[in-house]
Amino acid sequence: MPKKTVLPERKIAFTQARLKALKAPATDRHYFYDAKVAGLCLCLTVAGSKTFYLYKKVDGRPVRVRLGRFPDLSIDLARKAVADLTGELARGVDIVAERRSKRQEQTVNELFSQWMEVHAKPRKRSWRDDERQYHKYLATFHNRRISSLRTAEISRWHARLAKASGLYQANRVKALLSTLLNFAVRLEMLVVNPCRSVPNFPEQSRERFLLPSEMKAFFDALVAAGEPWHDFFQLCLFTGARRGNVAAMAWQEIDLDRMTWSIPASKTKNKKPTTIALPPPAVVILRGRLEWTAGSAWVFPAYSASGHVTDPRKAWERVRKTSGLTDLRMHDLRRSLGSWQAAAGASLAVIGASLGHADLKSTQVYARLQLDPVRAAVDQATAAMLKASGVKVIEVEAKGGDDE
């Protein structure tokens, strides 16, 4: 007589030892059912994987819901999950449909892509920086379903980031995540933004600017940086403009005779057109670049999608290393112009006008200012900077008046 195949008992009391001892079948899948909790079953595959499921019949129709792998999911937790889901079934909840809905829900990655195309790129000049920060600092959330994010885990992530990258960086990236989740709330993907209850770390206003004793080292480092960065960072310093505006400076915005730079509203942070009084050293730099960039629409042309330079960070790191001013940031050049103007006795209103600040109260004062006192303050400040650096101050005379 042929030997009879003995199948393992399919209903057993689940224990750690018994489940670990189960051997992979030669063919098909084997299902084992817990003798203690009805509805809990274990699927054993040919490859040896063991997965817990809820298996019940509801109105004569089988319902199977995956719970998780053994031993990653313990027997106790699997039993608790079955009890919870059985309660939901008793209340008439379609748990299979709910699970399917969650699988179809957007991930943070998908939300970010939608936000970039719908909101950031059409409205934000800084969208490339948002993109860089998202990929660098938010990778832990990329593949997460939006509704799975919890305040507690965001708070822990925020604290880890602050320890690794500093308080300011942690606050900036948390603000980006909060913006994304606010977008999800507006699209009715979320009810509440879980970032709302995560407080920022306290920040102190930064007051760093170039000191007289640092000017020579800074200008020597600019020479070592070579072109176009020697001219680029000098213009950041002499105009007090934001680095993005200097990078996208177009010749059609420059009037070398009147010594002005008119930045259109589409390029400014406050969405208002701004006119910058160009001091003599800036005019000399621009005249040199006009000859060097003949035929280009940009003051700093580059082989990029935009046609001009876009990312000066590597060059800036070389300047910091060469000069020894390792704590100096690019934005400190803008702050330096204002600080040197203040040291020369310029009023806060004049300083605000020269930097194009967006504060409402200050803006009301800026509207009544003429360009001449702004020019005088900028000229005096840049001349003092160059004197401290040891560079000869160059006299340039405007060919046209501002009110012609």
pLDDT tens per residue, range 137-160: 999 999 998 888 999 999 999 999
* 50-54, 178-182, 342-346, 374-378: the lowest-pLDDT one: 342-346
pLDDT at 394 over 80: no
* pLDDT band with cut points at 50, 70 and 90 for residue 400: very low
* pLDDT band with cut points at 50, 70 and 90 for residue 52: very high
* pLDDT at site 2: 46
* pLDDT at site 364: 36
Contacts 24+ apart (CB under 8 A), 347-356: 350/374, 350/377, 351/377, 354/240, 354/276, 354/277, 354/378, 355/240, 356/241, 356/263, 356/268, 356/269, 356/270, 356/274, 356/276
Q: Say what the pTM is.
A: 0.52
* pLDDT at site 166: 86
Report the percent of the chain where pLDDT is more than 90. Answer: 41
* pLDDT at site 374: 67
* pLDDT at site 9: 54
Give the span between the Cα atoms of 323 and 221, in whole angstroms.
5
Residues 6+ apart with CB under 8 A from 18: 12
* pLDDT band with cut points at 50, 70 and 90 for residue 396: low
**Is 230 within 8 Å of 223 (Cβ atoms)?**
yes
* pLDDT band with cut points at 50, 70 and 90 for residue 369: very low
* pLDDT at site 291: 87
Is the model more confident about 5 or about 244?
244
